[in-house]
Amino acid sequence: MQYRVEGTAAYVPAHVATGRTERRRRRKRSSAAVRRNRIRALKMNAAYVVFLSLVSALTVLMCVYYLELKETASSIAAENQSTETNLMALRSENDALYEMAVNSVDWNRIRETAVGRLGMKYAAEDQIVWYNKQDSYSIRQYRDVDAGS
């Protein structure tokens, strides 16, 4: 291309200034790309469409199943929280009742009643029989213990 100078500015030919040649090239390139896309679209056969449909349906079903599981988990978490709150209230009530039961026992009165009214006596040292517990919290009695020593 040749340019001519007019004054201080260079003259640009009209087809270069408007970019017509570049647009033509793009049109040719895009039309080839469009043709390739059309050919690819026509190559999509029924098996491929069925495959994509199945995959899409499976994806939707998995999403629905996930949402159901999430709802179940949240309801179980809410139920768990409610149960824990109920448990804390029951434990608090149980502790209060236990303290009330322990504090209501008057050990001195029981001792006076046992010794005074019922005639019980403290055991003498020779009446106490000691057993060795080795591994359990209870002792099994296989025969009578001599009580008359």
- In angstroms, the CA 71 to CA 79 distance is 12
Number of structural domains, the chain? 2
pLDDT digit string, tens, across residues 48-79 = 889 999 999 999 999 999 999 999 999 999 99
Q: What is the tens place of the pLDDT at every residue in 74-104?
A: 999 999 999 999 999 999 999 999 999 999 9
DSSP letters for 12-55: --HHHHHTHHHHHHHHHHHHHHHHHHHHHHHT--HHHHHHHHHH
Whole-number average pLDDT of the chain: 82
Residue with tokens 């608090």: 92
Shared domain for 113 and 51, answered yes or no, is yes
| Full residue range of the structural domain in which residue 20 is found | 9-43
Task: Return the bridge partners of 61, or none.
Answer: none
Q: What is the pTM of this model?
A: 0.41
Asked whether residue 86 is assigned to any structural domain, the reply reads: yes
